[in-house]
Amino acid sequence: MDTLAKLEILADAAKYDAACTSSGVERGPKKGAIGVASNAGCCHSFTADGRCVTLLKVLLSNACTHDCAYCVNRVSNHVPRATFESAELAELTIDFYKRNYIEGLFLSSGVLGSPDATSERMIACLELLRGPYRFSGYVHAKVIPGTDPALVERLGRLADRLSVNVELPSAASLERLCPEKHAEDVIAPMAQIQASMHSGRLLGAGSISHGTSPGAGNAYSTVKPEARAAALPSSGLARRSGATRGGPRGEAFCPAGQSTQLIIGATPENDYDILTLSTDLYQRFGLKRVFFSAYMPIADDPRLPHPETPVPLRREHRLYQADWLMRFYGFEAAELVAHDAPFLDLDVDPKLAWALTVPERFPVEVNSASKEALLRVPGFGPASVRKICRARRAHRLTFDDLDRLKISVKRAGFFITCSGERSPRFVASPEEIREKVVSDAASSAYNRAQRKNPRQLTLF
């Protein structure tokens, strides 16, 4: 089988993994090596469905011995199988990198016999890439649950980011759909990665790593680690968090941190369960990201949603919005979902939904409100708040000033005053605001498409 055919099979097999980021670590050029890593990352292309392509995301092999019901690579699924040679994959990475197609490699694999045997092959591939091929770009490696800790340690010295996929949001679902996987096999490497990263920081080993706080995805995180640790909703505006520069004692362990993925819509867990779990993962293991992957029905299995079920795109989108609010705006999961209202509102975004439940906190006066209060105004993001804070140092702001600063008040106008004045869009009650926002959104392209295609999500 030639490289072209292998690449098609192994990229197709890896595409269900949502993670594709190249951020979280800054590494300059090295003499004789090729590649750098930048803290902000860089997207080099976008797929037909709009997802970013920043890494050469492939499996080392899709010949998997596990039989996870939701997975396209399960042993019982009859699909073409292929396995890359280490040198083949290393050369492909270098060739793509030099042409500015990618920032690096995302390496995952089906389970080739055992987790340890698979990890050994992944390590061999990365050692070749980092060693003889002198590649200094970004590498994201997937840890196979059940891998020996010594192998995880070696993998972490070669990769910038590691991830262990939780996949299903509860142990019961995992047991039902993945008979060979156990919750403790997923949790153990996450704890090990966190411990190794922590000891590495104490020893000062490695390259510059930014935003090492739990859930702080990059150096511009608005949430300070201390604030998160204390579980306070306070936050500051974007500022550079402390970068740790390593000493000469060797490569850093996983300098860009770890991440995980949760599949949405394959099992009955609600948004409350998912957001509570992701908060717990951020806090316990210092994760950089929790990715959500809307389940795409690929198998006619009674344990899974019907194959005709639409992909829950809007739900995935709302979960990402909620996750963003928790990571960058200082929100807590309990402010966005609750036991008695366990799903996020699909009609309005989570920040607006929250604001409508606390009308007593609004309106906010833009000339005197704190940065934290402004960040909680629906329609304002860190960039708008920075502009407001900068401009109000010079003079009191009016709605015309906001317009000149190119700050949209279409949404925020319901929740702010400028020098004591209300926006012309102001309406008094939360019900009216919601009605207006939903009515504005009704003409959106997404909602028009949904009306044309009125299938309902049929979970079970």
Partner 1 sequence: MAVEPKAEGVLSATGLTYLAHCAHAPLRFVRRDVAQPALGEAFFEAPTLEALAHRVYRGFAARIREGCPRAECGRCAPGCSSSCVRRVYTIASSDDEDMPEALHAYLVLGFDHGRGVRSLAARDARIAKAEAFHTLAVNESEKARQFVRFSELSTGAFFSLYTPKANVLPLVAGHFARRMEGERFLLADPKHKVAVLFSEGRIIVGPLSPEEVAELSRPHELSDVERSVRALWKRFYDALALPGRGRHERGYDLRAQFMPKRIADGLIELDPTIDDGFAAQAWESAVAAGALAAGVGELAAAQIMKKTLPAFPEASFEAVDGAKG
Residue from 1, 8, 124, 428 touching partner 1 (CB under 8 A): that is 8
User: Is-contact 241 210, C-beta < 8 A?
Assistant: yes
Q: Give least dist CB 393 to partner 1, A.
A: 5
Binding to partner 1 (CB under 8 A) within 292-321 occurs at 294, 296, 310-311, 313
Q: Is 57 in the site for partner 1 (CB under 8 A)?
A: yes
Residue 405 touching partner 1 (CB under 8 A): yes
- Closest separation in Å from C-beta 384 to partner 1: 12
Q: Which is nearer to partner 1, 54 or 147 (CB)?
A: 54
Which one, of 188, 204, 323, lies nearest residue 255 by Cα?
A: 204
Residue of 394, 439, 456, 460 interacting with partner 1 (CB under 8 A):
394
Q: How far is the CB of 18 from partner 1 (least distance, A)?
A: 10
Instruction: Identify which range of 56-64, 258-266, 276-284, 421-429 contacts partner 1 by CB under 8 A.
Output: 56-64
Residue 390 near partner 1 by CB under 8 A? yes
Query: In the complex, what is the shortest distance from the CB of residue 269 to partner 1, in angstroms, rounded to a whole number?
Result: 20
324 touches partner 1 (CB under 8 A): no
Pair 125, 106: CB distance under 8 Å: no
Say if residues 330 and 390 touch (Cβ distance below 8 Å).
no
264 contacts partner 1 (rule: CB under 8 A): no
Beta carbon of residue 361, minimum distance to partner 1 (angstroms, whole number): 25
One symbol per residue from 332 to 371: x for binding partner 1 (CB under 8 A), - otherwise; what is it? Answer: ----------------------------------------
Residues 105-144 that bind partner 1 (CB under 8 A): none
50 binds partner 1 (CB under 8 A): yes
Candidate list 78, 406, 439, 456; residue touching partner 1; CB under 8 A: 406
Interface with partner 1, residue 427, by CB under 8 A: no
Q: Do 152 and 249 meet the contact criterion of CB atoms below 8 Å apart?
A: no
Q: Does 447 bind partner 1 (CB under 8 A)?
A: yes
Region binding partner 1 by CB under 8 A among candidate stretches 96-104, 114-122, 176-184, 320-328: 96-104
SS3 per residue for the chain: CCHHHHHHHHHHHHCCCCCCCCCCEEECCCCCCECCECCCCCCCEECCCCCEECEEEEECECCCCCCCCCCCCCCCCCCCCCECCHHHHHHHHHHHHHCCCCCEEEEECCCCCCHHHHHHHHHHHHHHHHCCCCECCEEEEECCCCCCHHHHHHHHHHCCEEECCCECCCHHHHHHHCCCCCHHHHHHHHHHHHHHHHHHHHHCECCEECCCCCCCCCCCCCCCHHHHHCCCCCCCCCCCCCCECCECCCCCCCCCCEEEEEEECCCCCCHHHHHHHHHHHHHHHCCCEEEEEECCCCCCCCCCCCCCCCCCHHHHHHHHHHHHHHHHCCCCHHHHCCCCCCCCCCCCCHHHHHHHHCHHHCCEECCCCCHHHHHCCCCCCHHHHHHHHHHCCCCCCCHHHHHHCCCCCCCHHHCEEECCEECCCCCCCHHHHHHHHHHHHHCCHHHHHHHHCCCCCCCC
Q: Binding residue for partner 1 (CB under 8 A) from 51, 198, 361, 410? A: 51
Cβ neighbours of residue 258 closer than 8 Å, sequence gap 6 or more: 161, 162, 163, 164, 190, 193, 194, 197, 285, 286, 287, 288
Which lies closer to partner 1 via its Cβ, residue 28 or residue 250? 28
Q: Which residue has the tokens 């396209």?
A: 72
Closest distance of CB 64 from partner 1, Å: 18
Per rule CB under 8 A, is residue 419 in the interface with partner 1? no
**Of residues 187-226, those binding partner 1 (CB under 8 A):** 220
Task: Provide, rounded to whole angstroms, the least separation between the CB of residue 28 and partner 1.
Answer: 6
The answer to the question of residue 56 lying near partner 1 (CB under 8 A) is yes
Residue 248 binding partner 1, by CB under 8 A: no
Establish if 11 lies at the interface with partner 1 (CB under 8 A).
yes
Q: Residue 410 interacts with partner 1 (CB under 8 A)?
A: no
245 binds partner 1 (CB under 8 A): no
Q: Does 47 contact partner 1 by CB under 8 A? A: yes
In the complex, the smallest distance separating the C-beta of residue 401 from partner 1, rounded to whole angstroms, is: 4
Region near partner 1 per CB under 8 A, out of 75-83, 227-235, 326-334, 402-410: 402-410
244 — phi, psi (to 5°)? -105, 120
450 is an interface residue for partner 1 by CB under 8 A: yes
453 touching partner 1, by CB under 8 A? yes
With respect to partner 1, which residue has the nearer C-beta, 77 or 450? 450
